[in-house]
Structures are given as structure tokens and as C-alpha cells.
């Protein structure tokens, strides 16, 4: 069963630029653990085949950590791969096989590149044992908890819909918690979800709800933890703008107030009582909220809501939909004032 580790703070050692923003992050680790928290993070510098791309952190949705290439490891693996590709001795192949396994996940790209290169195809091979390059690749993936077919490059998703591959150079994430510091090596991380928290005036914060992730029915991080703690009876306001396309609802385009445009171009108005004075039952596309970690309520905020906290606890927000589809696109900008 996957574990959920909730952290009070997260510092990212990512070669940060001078201008940093407060972000909410979720680390999905290769071993299945999940770490959530907050961080100060700078713009993402991605080295691509076309040059360096600097992506404002406010536009970054997800960073998928790729397998990467390591020239030193590749050079060590090359001679051993030639043994695996040509030797008829089971003992020689076994030794080469085990030596490459010891190189770990960093050898995956080198082995994959070698195996896919047509010039390395040995049509005269008669070997039928277990120490093959195909089996080696499977073992390397399995031992590192890396899915077969995983990307070599780091992949950055921009605004929840555009992707760019390259190298985002960092070695570890330095995590600060109330229990002490934790450094998570890059090679242990599968992906990092990012959501910017922007400070406005006194008592005002702005968040981004991504339709690719922050859907109320998404059991894996669908509710954004704002870090805003409310006391019972405290007044607060939620104001939302933007547009999302919900693939789960025939790719209809929704606004935070529940109004939407169908795929045939027909516009449908918002549901009534968007100022928070009427029903608390949400409609599709509404911004929704609940208060407290253990709360199972889904309360309607819509495009604008002003009300009083009925209980004390952390404020969570999301986009209302009963079915989660990762193919959703777009985002809402949500301002919270207390």
C-alpha cells in the first residue's frame, strides 16, 4: 500500500534562480511513497536539444524525472554489453550481466541504446540462456522500480497541457520537516507536481487549480491543500477565474461558476446562487472546498463565495467532477482572502 507523508515545509535544491515563489509540491517516489508540502522554487531551467528553456515556475504543472544518461556508466557498460552480445560462454555472460546490474538504473539508457542500434544485431547468435540483453533490461527496470518504456529525458508539463523534454539539472531535494531534514536523491523521484502559491495583500493567497490533477474525485492528490488554517466562525472569501476542459464530460469547457460551452458551441448559464447565499450542492466545474484533513464534505464555492467556517482546520479546494480523467486541460486561478 502506498504511504502518504505530509510535510510542513519543503526546500528544493534545484539550482534556483534569484526570484522564487512559494509553491505546493507533491513528490511521487519510485518506491510508491508520496511526499507533500510547500517550497520556495525558482524558474525551471530545462536544457533541451534546441537550447536552454527557462520556464516560469508559475506555468509548471508537473516535472517527470527521466532515467537520464551518464557517460561514465555508459562507457563501463559498453564493453560488458559486447560480451553479452557475442560470447557463447554462459559464465562470461553471467559475469558481464551481473556487473551491469550493479551499475543500477543509470545503465538503463546505455543498455537500451545498445540494444536498439541495428549494428549490434547479432544474427549468428545461438545463445539460448537467461543472460540476455532483453532480460537485463527487464531486471534493471524492476530493481529500480522504473516502468519499462520510461522516458530518458526529464519531462516538464507546462500549463497542464504542453510538454517539453530535456535535462533539469539537480541532484537531490532537501526537505525540511518539523521532525528534521530529509534529502531525497533525484534518482528516487518519479515526478514532482507543482502548484504556485502567490501572496497578495494581508491575508490573501492565490492558487492554481489544474484540471489535469485537482478534480474532487481524484483519489491521488485531487484536493489542493492551501495551507490556510481557518477557525470556526472565521469569515473567508474564495474568488475564482479561468476555464477548464473536462474530458470526462465530452470535452465541454467550464467556468468556476458552473457555466459551460458544449462541444457543439451551445452556451449554458451558471447555476443559481453563485454568491454563496443559496444551495451548497455543487455543479460540474464549480470550485469546491472543505475544511479539515478528515472532512468528507464537498462544499460549493463557485466563482465567488463569502462565508463563515463551520469548523476549524485546513482549507482544501478542488474542481467538482464525479469522474477523474487525466486528459482534462486548463486551470482556474483561485484567490482566498481571510
The predicted-structure confidence for 46-85, as pLDDT tens digits, reads as follows 999 899 999 988 788 889 999 988 999 999 999 999 999 9
Alpha-carbon gap, residue 35 to 254, rounded angstroms: 31
C-alpha–C-alpha distance, residues 285 and 278, integer Å: 17
Q: If 0-12 CB within 10 Å is exposed, 13-18 middle and 19+ buried, where does residue 52 land?
A: exposed
| Res 276: pLDDT | 46
Distance CA 261, CA 171 (A): 45
The backbone region for 213, taken as left when phi is positive above 0, alpha when psi lies in -120 to 50, beta otherwise, is alpha
Alpha-carbon distance of 8 to 263, in angstroms, equals: 42
In 3D space, the residue among 101, 82, 107 whose CA is nearest the CA of residue 92 turns out to be 82
Give the Cα separation of 167 and 66 in Å (integer): 8
Residue 139 pLDDT = 94
Supply the pLDDT for residue 271: 66
- The Cα 197–Cα 208 span in angstroms is 8
Enumerate residue ranges in the chain where pLDDT < 50.
1-12, 15-18, 274-278
Rounded to a whole number of angstroms, the CA Rg of the chain reads 24
Q: What is the pLDDT of residue 315?
A: 93
Helix (H) / strand (E) element for 141: namely helix 133-143
Residues in the chain: 338
> Longest Cα pair distance anywhere in the chain, in angstroms?
79
Among 334, 299, 320, residue whose Cα is nearest residue 228: 334
Angle at 149 between CA 126 and CA 61, to 5 degrees: 170
Residue keyed to cell 485537482: 214
What does DSSP assign to residue 32? S
Predicted local confidence at residue 176, as pLDDT: 61
Give the CA-trace dihedral at 17, 315, 281, 311, to 10 degrees.
-170
* Dihedral (CA of 125, 130, 135, 139) sign: negative
> Is there a contact between 45 and 220 (Cβ–Cβ < 8 Å)?
no
- Cell 475544511 locates to 291
Collapse the DSSP code of 105 into the 3-class scheme (helix H, G, I; strand E, B; otherwise coil) and give the result: helix
pTM of the model: 0.65
Domains of the chain in start order, with CATH, are 4-64+158-194 (no CATH), 71-143 (no CATH), 200-337 (2.60.120.430)
What is the distance between the alpha carbons of residues 210 and 217, in angstroms, rounded to a whole number?
A: 13
Pairwise CA distance, residues 302 & 86, whole Å = 66
Amino acid at each position: 500500500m502506498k504511504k502518504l507523508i505530509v510535510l510542513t515545509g519543503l526546500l528544493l535544491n534545484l539550482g534556483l534562480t534569484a526570484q522564487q515563489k512559494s509553491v505546493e509540491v507533491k513528490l511521487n517516489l519510485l518506491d510508491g511513497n508520496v511526499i507533500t508540502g510547500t517550497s520556495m522554487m525558482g524558474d525551471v531551467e530545462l536544457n533541451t536539444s534546441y537550447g536552454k528553456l527557462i520556464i516560469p515556475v508559475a506555468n509548471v504543472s508537473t516535472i517527470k524525472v527521466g532515467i537520464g544518461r551518464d557517460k561514465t556508466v555508459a562507457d563501463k557498460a559498453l564493453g560488458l554489453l559486447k560480451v553479452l552480445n557475442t560470447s557463447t560462454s554462459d559464465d562470461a555472460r553471467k559475469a558481464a550481466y551481473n556487473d551491469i546490474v550493479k551499475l543500477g538504473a543509470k545503465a538503463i539508457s546505455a543498455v537500451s541504446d545498445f540494444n536498439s542500434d541495428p549494428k549490434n544485431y547479432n544474427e549468428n547468435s545461438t545463445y539460448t540462456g537467461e543472460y540476455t540483453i532483453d532480460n537485463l533490461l527487464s531486471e534493471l527496470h524492476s530493481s529500480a522500480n522504473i516502468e519499462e518504456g520510461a522516458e530518458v529525458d526529464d519531462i516538464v508539463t507546462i500549463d497542464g497541457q504542453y510538454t517539453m523534454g530535456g535535462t533539469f539539472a539537480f541532484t537531490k531535494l532537501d526537505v525540511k520537516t518539523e521532525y528534521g531534514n530529509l534529502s531525497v536523491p533525484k534518482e528516487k523521484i518519479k515526478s514532482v507536481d507543482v502548484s504556485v502559491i502567490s501572496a497578495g495583500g494581508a491575508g490573501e493567497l492565490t492558487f492554481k487549480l489544474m484540471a489535469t490533477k485537482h478534480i474532487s474525485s481524484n483519489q491521488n492528490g485531487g484536493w489542493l491543500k492551501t495551507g490556510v488554517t481557518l477557525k470556526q466562525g472565521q469569515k473567508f472569501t474564495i474568488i475564482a477565474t479561468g476555464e477548464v476542459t473536462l474530458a470526462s464530460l465530452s470535452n465541454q469547457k467550464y467556468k468556476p461558476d458552473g457555466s459551460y460551452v458544449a462541444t457543439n458551441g451551445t452556451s449554458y448559464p451558471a447555476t443559481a446562487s453563485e454568491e454563496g447565499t443559496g444551495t451548497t450542492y455543487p455543479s460540474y466545474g464549480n470550485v469546491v472546498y472543505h475544511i479539515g484533513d478528515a472532512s468528507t464534505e464537498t462544499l460549493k464555492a463557485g466563482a465567488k463565495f463569502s462565508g463563515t467556517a463551520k469548523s476549524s482546520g485546513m482549507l482544501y479546494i478542488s474542481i467538482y467532477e464525479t469522474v477523474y480523467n487525466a486528459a482534462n486541460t486548463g486551470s482556474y486561478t483561485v484567490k482566498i482572502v481571510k
